Structure 1
Amino acid sequence: MPYRFDRRTFLQGGTAGLGALALGAHPWRRAARWAAAGPASTDDRLAWWREARFGLFLHWGLYSTLAGEWGARTDYAEWIRNSAHIPLAEYERLLGRFNPTRFDADRWVSLAKDAGMRYVTITTKHHDGFALFDSKLTGFCVRATPFRRDIMREMADACRRQGLRMCWYHSIMDWHHPDYLPRRDWEAETRPVDGARYARFVRYLHGQVTELLTNYGDVGVMWFDGNWEETWTHEMGKTLYERCRTLQPSVIVNNRVEGWSPAPITDHLGDFRTPEQEVPATGWPGVDWESCITMNRNWGYNSHDHDFKPAARLIGLLVETASKGGNLLLNVGPRADGTFPEESVERLQAIGRWMAVNGSAIYGTTASPFASAPFRATAQGNRLFLFVTDWPTAACGATGVELRVPGLRTPVRAATLLADPDRRPLACATTDAGAVVTLPPDAPDAVCSVVALEFERPPEVAR
C-alpha cells in the first residue's frame, strides 16, 4: 500500500511511522552528505548554522492585513484563506490593501541582532501563494500592491549590513497557482481542475526558487514547507534539492523538501530536521535539528492573540534547545503596517539582555553531557556551562550554597558566574560522585544564571 503522510504525520518527527517514511532510521547524520550535491561537505555548510544556535522566524504576507479576522471569527492567521474558505477572487483583492508604510528592514534585523539571533528566516511565499518578493513569474506578488518595493531585497541588504544570515522560507503548497493540485475540497466547484497540469506548477516553483537563489546574494537556508500532499513526490524533492545546491552549493536545505513515495525512502533529503512548536524530549544525538516555535499561539499576525509566552519561558526554550544540541527559530508575526507587535519587541529585548551576558554559553556549543542533573548544560571544548534556574537554598546564616555536578570526572580548573562582571572565582571541590561548586546565596539572574566551568582538557562525565 502506498505510504501516505499529511502535515500532522510529517511533523511528528521521531515516531516509528515517520521513521519508516520520511525521516528513516538514521536521517541527517552529520557525517552524511547527498552524493550529487557538489563539493561542499555537510560539516562545512552547516558550520555557521551550528555556531549560531538562534534565529528569527518571520511570517508575513497578505493574511497579515486581516489580522486574524473573517466574518464573526477572530482566531485565524496565516491559514485564513483556507480555514475561512475565502474565495480566490476575494482574497486577491487584499493586494490593494497591502501597504506596509512603516516597514523598516534595518529595524527588523536590528531587533533580531540585539536579541542575540544570528540569522533571519522570512516567508518569501506562504501557502496562499503570495510572493513578498518581486517575482517575474507571477503578478501575485508585492509588485502588484501599493507598496511595490521588493521586501526580500531590503531584508537581504539589511542582514548583510548587520552581519546576519538571510534565509528564505518558501512554501511548496500554493493555493493560488492554477496548476497546483490538489484543490482545497471546499473550492472544488469554483476552481475546477480542468486543464491544470502539476508539471507546470513544478516548473514555476523551480523558477521562483531560482529567482530567490540568484537575485539576492548568498542565502543561508532554503526552508521549505507545505510538502505533505501526495502530488509532491520524493523524486520532485530530490530534483529541487539538487537545484538549490547547484545554484548555491553552500546553501542549507531543511527536511521539508522531502516528498511522498509509494515505498519506504532510503535516500533521505534535507540537512536538518524541523520539529514544530516543541523541543524534542531528548534531542536527536548526532542529528542536526531546529525547533521552530511561536511567541504566542499563531505564526501570522492575529490582533486578538495576546497569549504570549513570558520572556523567561522563551529564554528557557533557548536554553533547553541548545542543551539538547539543537537550534531555536523563534517566530514573530509582523503587523500589516510593517511593525512588530509590542509584546514581541519586549520579549526580543528581554532575551537580548540575557544573551548579552550569557550568549557565550549558547553559541557554538554542543549538547549536555549529563544523563541527569539538576540543571541544563552545554559543552564547548574545555568548558561546560551550567544553566541554573532553581537556585539552591542557603542554610540560615550561610555565606554560600552548594551546586552538585553529578558524574564529573575531570578536575575543574576554574569556575565563575557569567553574570559576575568581575569573574570572581567560585570554590569547587571534587568528590566521588562528581564535583561541588559553592555559589553565592543569591542568584545573580532572576531568570537563569550560568556557571562556567573550565578544564585543562575536554571534560569527562560519567553517564
Structure 2
Amino acid sequence: MKKITAMLSCLLLAQSLLAQNSTNDERMKWWREARFGMFIHWGVYAVPAGTYKGFPMNRGGGEWIMNRSKIPVAEYQAYAKQFNPVKYNAEDWVLMAKNAGMKYIVITAKHHDGFALFDSKASKWDIADATPYGKDLLQPLVAACKKHGIKLGFYYSHAQDWNNPGGSAARKDMREGWPNPDSAKVDAYTKAHNGHWDPAQETKTFDQYINDVAVPQVKELLTNYGDVAVLWWDTPTGMTDDAAKKLQAPLALQPNIITNDRLKRPNFPGDYKTPEQKIPNLSELDGRDWETCMTMNGTWGFKSYDHKWKSVETMVRNLVDIASKGGNYLLNVGPTAEGTFPEESIKGLQGIGEWMKVYGEAIYGTKGNPLQPQTWGRITRKGNTLYLSVFEWPANGQLAVTGLKNKVKSARLLNSREAVKSSAGADAVTFSLPARAPNAIASVIKVELEGNL
C-alpha cells in the first residue's frame, strides 16, 4: 500500500511539473519568437547628459551621473525643473522600433535615481509633480504600443533609489565622477554609509522604502497601464529575500507577465537571464532563456558627447549571433531631455530595419544552431529549415556547412528566391553561391531538409 501511495505521489508530482512547464512555455512563447526588442533609458539624467561641474563622467553611463559624481539630492532634483520633453512623441518612438524589426519595448519606468516617468501616488519625485512637463510619459507609450502591435514592458529599479529616502546605493569611488578635491573625504563617507553620500538619503530605512515606495509603485505599474509584458528588475543592491517576496507578490496582478533574473539572486531566478553588454559563448549557456541587453554607443542614458556608435553591420550581426544561440537582443536608445532619439540612433535603427525587412524570417521564431559553429557566419533553425546567415561570402562561391548530415530538399537565397545548388560530402554539404553577396552585412540562404535534425 505504501508503495502504491508513493507511486501515486510521484505521478501527481510529475503531472504537476508537466502542467507547470506547459503554462510557462505558453507564457514565454511570444518572447521566444520575438528575438528583438528595444530598451529605452530615459529620465532626469538626460538633462546633465553626462557632465557635472564642467567635467564629463570618468566612468559609466549617463544614468549613473548622480551616484558617480556624488550630486546632492536637492541639487539633483533641481535638474527636474529642466526636464521638459515637449518633443516627445510616443507613436514616433514605437514606429521607429517597429520599423527596425523590434517586437517589444522595455522602458525605464524608474531608474536608480528614483525618478518615475509616471504619475505616482507613492512619491512626488516623478514626472507629474517634479517637472514643468507635468504629464505621465508611460500612458502615451502604452496607447502607441497597443495601436501598432508592440509588446511593452517596464524596467524598475527596485532596490537602488538615490532620491527616495531609504533606497540603497551601490558604492562607487568619487574618481569615477569628476575630480572633486574632497574625494578622499567623500569616499570615506560613502564607505561608512553603505554607498550613500547625502544624509537626506538615510532619513528612512530600507524596509520603509520598500513598503512605502517600491511595492506601491510596482502595484501602480501593474494596475494602471493595461497588459504589461515584462517587468525588468535591476540591481538587487542590499536586497533581502523578505523584500523580494513583497515585490514579487504584486506580479499576481499580471498572470502572463515575464520577469528577469535581477530581483534577488539566487532565490528569485525569474524567467530569463540577462547578460549585459556581452554575447555569451556557447559554453556559458545552460539551457535557460536569456536576453543580451546592449547599448548602441557607450551609454544607456543620454550623454551629449558619446559618439562611439556601433555600425549597422555590428548590430545586425550581433542580432544574428544571439538568435543563433537561442537568445534575445534588447538594444538600447537613450533619448534626450527634449524627448527625441539621437540622430545616430535613428540612423542605426533604420539600417537594421532595412536588413530585417528582407531577412527577418531568419530571426523571428527561430531556435539556435543545431550544428557545430561555422566560420563563415551563423545558423538559425525552424523545424527542418536552416537559415544560413553568411557574414563572409566565399570568394570561390562554395559554402561548406560542416556537420550537416541531412539530405537537402531545397535551398534558395532568402532575398530573391533564387535556387542554390548543393552537393553532399563525407562531413559537409556544400552550396554553390553566386559570385557576389546579395547583402554586404549578412546574406541568408534558406535550406529545407529531409528528416529530423
With the shorter chain as reference, the TM-score category is 0.7 to 0.9
Partner of 1:180: 167
Structure 2 gaps, min length 5: 1-13, 172-188
Partner of 1:221: 230
**Counterpart contact for 1:285–1:325, Cα < 8 Å:** no
| Counterpart code for 1:212 | L
Distance 1:44 1:300 in 2: 34
Normalised to the residue count of structure 2, the TM-score between the two structures is 0.86
Deviations 1:389-423 (A, max 9, x none): 111013xxxxxx11111111111111011122xx1
Confirm or deny that 1:51 pairs with 2:51.
Answer: no
Q: Percent identity?
A: 42
Deviation at 1:195, TM superposition (A): 5.1
Partner of 1:167: 153
| Counterpart code for 1:45 | R
Out of 118, 135, 141, the residue aligned to residue 155 of structure 1 is 141
Out of 48, 52, 55, the residue aligned to residue 73 of structure 1 is 55
Confirm or deny that 1:429 pairs with 2:423.
Answer: yes
Distance 1:39 1:371 in 2: 28
Distance 1:81 1:224 in 2: 20
Deviations 1:215-264 (A, max 9, x none): 0000110000021x23x1134224422321x11011001000115xxxxx
Distance 1:119 1:358 in 2: 18
| Counterpart code for 2:83 | F
| Counterpart code for 1:369 | P
**Counterpart contact for 1:40–1:249, Cα < 8 Å:** no
Aligned residues: 409
Partner of 1:410: 406
Runs of 4 or more, structure 1, over 6 Å off, are 37-40
Q: 1:194 to 1:306 in 2, by over 3 A?
A: closer
Distance 1:195 1:119 in 2: 38
**Counterpart contact for 2:402–2:427, Cα < 8 Å:** yes
| Counterpart code for 2:301 | G
Matches within 5 A, 1:256-267: 256-259=262-265, 265=266, 267=267
| Counterpart secondary structure, 1:213 | helix
Distance 1:356 1:139 in 2: 43
Partner of 1:367: 368
Q: 1:119 to 1:189 in 2, by over 3 A?
A: closer
Deviations 1:252-286 (A, max 9, x none): 01000115xxxxx5x44211000000000116252
Confirm or deny that 1:248 pairs with 2:254.
Answer: yes
Matches within 5 A, 1:7-406: 41-75=23-57, 77-144=62-129, 145-172=131-158, 173-181=160-168, 185-186=189-190, 190-191=198-199, 196-203=204-211, 204-227=213-236, 229-230=237-238, 232-244=239-251, 246-259=252-265, 265=266, 267-282=267-282, 284-374=285-375, 375-394=377-396, 401-406=397-402
| Counterpart code for 2:145 | C
Deviations 1:261-315 (A, max 9, x none): xxxx5x4421100000000011625210000000101000001000001110011
| Counterpart code for 2:443 | S
Distance 1:354 1:124 in 2: 30
**Counterpart contact for 1:237–1:269, Cα < 8 Å:** no
Distance 1:141 1:167 in 2: 19
Distance 2:140 2:360 in 1: 28
Deviations 1:93-136 (A, max 9, x none): 11211101100000000000000000000000000000001111
Q: 1:106 to 1:369 in 2, by over 3 A?
A: same
Distance 2:303 2:257 in 1: 32
Distance 2:141 2:344 in 1: 22
Normalised to the residue count of structure 1, the TM-score between the two structures is 0.84
Structure 1 gaps, min length 5: 1-31, 260-264, 395-400
| Counterpart secondary structure, 1:274 | coil
| Counterpart secondary structure, 2:330 | strand
Confirm or deny that 1:451 pairs with 2:445.
Answer: yes
| Counterpart code for 1:269 | P
| Counterpart code for 1:198 | F
Q: 1:302 to 1:192 in 2, by over 3 A?
A: closer
Distance 1:339 1:256 in 2: 29
Deviation at 1:332, TM superposition (A): 0.6
Deviations 1:174-206 (A, max 9, x none): 111112246864485741676522222111211
| Counterpart code for 1:403 | L
Distance 1:65 1:372 in 2: 45
Partner of 2:177: none
Distance 2:227 2:170 in 1: 35
Partner of 1:22: none
